[in-house]
Structure 1
Amino acid sequence: MDKNGCPPNHFTYNAIIQGLLQHNEISKATEYLQTMVDKGFSADATTATMFVNLLSADQPDKTVQEYF
């Protein structure tokens, strides 16, 4: 997107992250979250809830634990 002069915004990042989390791509989702935060955007309520659910799972993902 950036190469075509259309940089992603917070809506785009949140949609990508949510899709990755739904497909169990935790590591990639965490990378996108970091990129999003580095660019000054923040997670919306749905994205934040999905990460909180991962942290409160019986066996939380280590990637998410390390990030948070």
Structure 2
Amino acid sequence: MSKKSPLKKPARAIRPDVPKTTFGRAEAAASLGVDIQTIDSLISAKTLRASKLGRRVLIRVADIEAMLTANPAVQ
């Protein structure tokens, strides 16, 4: 019996040649190398913009890039 991962696999893109414009919380966390709770904290603090679509929380790639631009890395 195999164990299932707690995270859902992302659905296959309808058009793989078109880049994704939104991420779910897990995808956003993976792209930034942080935990989902960190994403939730950034959304709660209004540092990262997000939208709800039904139960899903969607984060635009442009909003992730804007957050990173507005909060530069510490040298």
TM-score (norm: length of structure 2)? 0.24
Which structure shows the higher strand fraction? Answer: 2
Which structure shows the higher helix fraction? Answer: 1
TM-score (norm: length of structure 1)? 0.26
Mark the structure with the bigger radius of gyration: 2
